[in-house]
Structure 1
Amino acid sequence: MEWDTLLSTQKLIDEDPEPREFDQYPINAFEKDYSKIVSSAVFRRLQDKTQVFPLDKSDFIRTRLTHSIEVSTIARQMGIMISKNKTKYRPKDIDNSRAENIASVLLCAGLLHDLGNPPFGHFGETTIGEWFQEHLGTIKYKDVLLKDWLNKQMINDLENFEGNAQALRILSKAQHNSEINLSAAIISTLVKYPTSSISFKRDHPDIKKHKLGYYFAENAIFNKISEVVGTKNEKGEIYRHPLTHMLEAADDIAYATADLEDAFKKRLFTLDEFITYFESCLDREKAVKNTNPDYYSLLLINTLKDKRGKQHNLSQDSKVFKEWIIYIRRWLMYTAVYRFSRSYSDIMAGDYTNDLFHDTNHSKTIRILKDSMNRFVFNSSGILKLELASQTILSFLLDKFVHAALYYDYAEGEFRPTKADKKYMNIFSDNYKQDYNSAKTSDEVMDLYLRLLMVTDYISGMTDSYARMLYRELSGIE
């Protein structure tokens, strides 16, 4: 892979040329993309979507929007660190111009990395996928089960609904709506998993195979973008964009530090409990040797203990923990950039199969921080209530709108929408209906699949508040 194509500014649709006068004060293409992103409706909706915790009345709990801004910041900073690092591993082919563009691409990709996530966080993803697993074999279209109409990839797309693939789907709609018509380099960086729903395997040794990254509907666009940026080899295999590794590391760092800080502020654990748990995850025997990740993790937890001292109270502990989180974030960024630089040749050849914390001094640290979220957060009452609410609300909406969409814009003999179906489609967002009308074909199976995607587009695009409100209105609660 080569940076000249990896940093392609080619768009999905051509744009009108700018006035010649603008050349006197130039802005690079990726900075223009950044401006489009922050002013787009799809990005702004992230302010009312759950990150980890249900939307909170306090100011300090992160939403998808604040999380995305943090990921964007971390990713950009790591992009700068790549080009400015003073080690012998500094990539020689990243000059100043490429360095600026790399940082800008990561800035944009960080803002967009959760664009496709539905209401209620990852619980929403799970709910949508499980609903289709349960219902594709029971709902009929023209007296034939949906599962018998669709091909294998279409079925897997729906039964394994994935926010990453949904983000690509949203951006691909620039063909019909130029609001967020972005450069190929940014879109390619966002595809964490360049794998279809019939090829992914969660325990595959290559990390790019762990989830699906695009749907059947976006197959042509995905391949086109891969060809434009040069991530597709002569055999047809598609690699991860090199900057995708940095984006994923930035997301992991934000999740493992900022979300943990939120959990502490919500008093889901004390500093004593965290320190005890962290130390229990270390292998004491290995931690005394300075050649093992346990040793470097021990140094970090000892730093927290030293900062805290013997005298403490809740307000002091909060300040100490926040400062430690900032400190540890820098170490994790340092570690990820080191691994990227050290494994640069393999990454550029498409041969690197791990995350950027693999086989580093802090591979154990990031694992303990992530496990801490499982230990202290995901069994808390607030999270469990969110999971149950997600299942109730999204399942209800899917029940109503999938049935309503089956015969949308179709009527033949006994197979036609009911009066109730028409009413549901009348309150369905016009934007998604227009997207469907622009994409539909003369193939009945493909159009049926697109109508089902039209429903997942609509529901996954909802904010938490809107999904709750619509559920309450349609169920007669208010």
Structure 2
Amino acid sequence: MMQWEDLLSLRRQGDTNKRLRIEQDETRLGFEVDYDRVIFSSAFRSLQDKTQVIPLSKTSFVHTRLTHSLEVSVVGRSLGRTIGRSILEKHPHLQTIHGHHFNDFGAIVAAAALAHDIGNPPFGHSGEKAIGDYFANGNGKRFKEQLSKKEYQDLVDYEGNANGFRILTESKNGVDGGLRLSFATLGAFMKYPKESLPKKPTKDICDKKFGVFQTDSRFFSEVALELGLLKRGNADALSYNRHPLAFLVEAADDICYTIIDFEDGINLGLIEEEFALEYLIKLVKGSINTEKYGALTMASDRLAYLRSLAINVLIAEAASIFIENEEAILKGTFSEALLDKSSFKAQIDDIIKISVEKVYRSTEVIDKEIAGYHILATLLDAYTTAFENFSNGNQRHYDKLILTSFGSVVSENVSVYKFLMECCSYVSMMTDGNALLHFQKIKGNL
């Protein structure tokens, strides 16, 4: 069974001494430092030009990955604080002996939620699929025989969550340990604490995707050990049960994309306004103030009111489900997303279904995703070919020009897997607009 005193570890990568909560400066708590480090990072700033729903959209109504991440962090903070009160009441030693406050839980979840999309490539989830497709079916397939099964799986199922862990923890350009976040925040960030193989061995929510590349497995294991996460699967498998607070990060994301993506669809005119309001009313009918709602004359004001109410309703619901199942979560026997157990699941599913039909499958989204596939495949082909020629001693002047972007990474001793991961990482760090610009340069369109 996992223990909260371990799960709330303030340790950071490279620490030699233990960090104690009772010795923390209350004006700038270590978990709050995590939030600051994420928000000031270049990787986080790049999210302002990365797709949430509509790729390359110039419409001011539409959320980017950055605005989405900020909203998820706010919801996550509320969720963390809410369950934090209950956890301290149930486990008073966490406060009396270790010095934890209920706000600690909110700060951890907020920081992890802020970073939850930091590893996503350009063009949303289709960007992940485009990278994977390049190695599974495109020119990248030529590397398959040079890689182990797990290394190849990392590429064909390229995963933004795993890339996020890499960004947050990778030592690079003289900076040791990436952002050096607390292990508690890293644990809450790890929604899928496993490697790429075996793929979906069970229906447990932990196995839905994967969260660590082979390059980062050693430190990943160190974090899991420090937090006391429970081992899963075979003895040689790198697979753990979730950090309990990862369920709250997931719930915050689920709440925001369910409600906010729906709202974006309305603002873009993809979902009929009056039709949409009916579905939101179904979700909040038990808590709506009919007099206040009836006084709102503008449809946009009614939408804002219902959106706010829906988020509050789902925060309370997710927190309640977490507290009810806390013991099972600590034992590693809770195996689904919090909102999958919600009494509002039917209403949530109805809203998501409309978003899929009207927004995610809209002509604008599909057209931009198709373009994204071509853009990312072209970039990966240029970069991997340049690395390949360099490694084989067949480097052309063109390859040298391409590789100048990678700086110190270029080395004669870099393995095939390492240089492929560097190419994917480099592409993933690009914004939507930056990826388009690089594509145009490679195509000779200056």
TM-score by length of 2: 0.88
| Residue 109 of structure 1: aligned partner | 112
User: What does the per-residue CA deviation read over 1:164-220, in whole Å, with 9 as the maximum and x for residues that have no partner?
Assistant: 010011122147524611111111111111122112318x32111010111111111
| Percent of aligned pairs with the same amino acid | 29
Which residue is equivalent to 1:349?
Answer: 331
Letter of the 2:163 partner, please give it. Answer: Q
1:323 to 305, 310, 326: 305
Name 1:172's counterpart in structure 2: 169
Cα distance in 2 for residues equivalent to 1:357 and 1:121:
23
Cα distance 1:476–1:303, how it changes in 2: closer, same or farther (>3 A)? same
Aligned mates of 1:420, 1:51 — CA distance in 2: 34
Q: CA separation in 2, counterparts of 1:304 and 1:371?
A: 27
**Structure number with bigger Rg:** 1
Which segments of 5 or more consecutive residues in structure 2 lack a partner in the other structure?
none
1:470 aligns with 2:408: no
1:219 aligns to 2:217 (yes or no): yes
CA contact (8 A) 1:48 1:63 kept: yes
Matches within 5 A, 1:20-99: 26-84=27-85, 91-93=90-92, 95=95, 97-99=100-102
Equivalent in the alignment of 2:354 = 372
Specify which of 449, 452, 464 is matched with residue 417 of structure 2.
449
What does residue range 198-209 of structure 1 map to in structure 2 within 5 Å?
198-201=197-200, 204-209=202-207
Distance 1:302 1:71 in 2: 22
Listed as ranges, the matches of 1:119-134 within 5 Å are 119-134=122-137
Residue 233 and residue 395 in structure 1: after superposition, are their counterparts in 2 closer, same or farther (change >3 A)? Answer: closer
Q: Distance in 2 between matches of 1:90 and 1:366?
A: 31
How far is 1:379 from its partner?
1.9
2:100 aligns to what SS in structure 1? helix
Q: Name the SS of the counterpart of 2:352 in structure 1.
A: helix
Matched-pair contact (CA < 8 Å) for 1:195–1:212: yes
The one of 415, 418, 430 equivalent to 2:396 is 418
CA distance in 2, matches of 1:170, 1:270: 40
* Correspondence 1:5 to 2:6: yes
Aligned to 1:155: 152
Structure 1: unaligned runs, 5 residues or longer: 140-145, 280-295
Distance 2:277 2:291 in 1: 12
Kept in 1: contact 2:284–2:309 (CA 8 A): no
Match of 2:367 in 1: 385
Q: In 1, distance between residues paired with 2:389 and 2:165? A: 26
Letter in 2 for 1:180: L
| Deviation of 1:306 (Å) | 8.8
SS of the residue corresponding to residue 358 of structure 1 reads helix
In 2 relative to 1, CA 352–381 (structure 1 residues): closer, same or farther, beyond 3 Å? Answer: same
Q: Which moved more, 1:164-173 or 1:94-103?
A: 94-103
SS in 1 for 2:339: coil
Residue identity matched to 1:355: A
Partner secondary structure for residue 56 of structure 1:
coil
Q: How many residues align?
A: 432
> How far 1:72 moved relative to its partner?
0.5
C-alpha distance in 1, partners of 2:17/2:89?
A: 39
How far did 1:475 drift?
Answer: 0.4
**Residue 417 of structure 1: how far off its partner (Å):** 2.0
The residue type equivalent to 2:223 in the other structure is I
- Between the aligned partners of 2:104 and 2:293, the Cα distance in structure 1 is 41
Q: Is the 8 A contact 1:193 1:208 kept in 2?
A: yes
Alpha-carbon distance change, 349 to 469 in structure 1, aligned in 2, over 3 angstroms: same
Shift of 1:23: 8.0
